[in-house]
Structure 1
Amino acid sequence: MAKPFNRFSDAARALLAVESLSEKEGQFCGGLAYRAAPLSDKQANWLRILLDRHGLPALAEGGAHG
């Protein structure tokens, strides 16, 4: 099993490299890629959904904070 992402910004950058990413998903990930503030619960949940949808490793526990 792949190692989970420890930081949401790393997960967002990995998603940006996925060819099947929709424009809406890309805009969301682009906004997260260099964000310094923690994610809201809703943002963290959608990021987890996108990682799963596109076959990438999960977000580590606590990874929504940076």
Structure 2
Amino acid sequence: MIIPIDQLDAQTLNNIIESFVLREGTDYGDYTTDLKEKVAQVKAQLESGEAVIEYSELHETVDIKKKESE
């Protein structure tokens, strides 16, 4: 199930994004990106619709994924 970001409290959205970024690791190539910057990048992807927040009822987990092409 896709969770619209406008239905989430700002702090909840930030916590979901931070959790995702920290789970994904810290290898960003030739340069390092701090947590604040990476969170801003993911939030921008969510706001643009490039990525979505997905809740799995089966696993009771929340994840951020690239929006699938339709």
> Which TM class, normalised by the smaller chain length?
0.3 to 0.5
Bigger radius of gyration among the two = 2
Task: Calculate the TM-score normalised by the size of structure 1.
Answer: 0.35
- Relative to its length, the structure with more helix (as a share) is 1
Task: Calculate the TM-score normalised by the size of structure 2.
Answer: 0.34
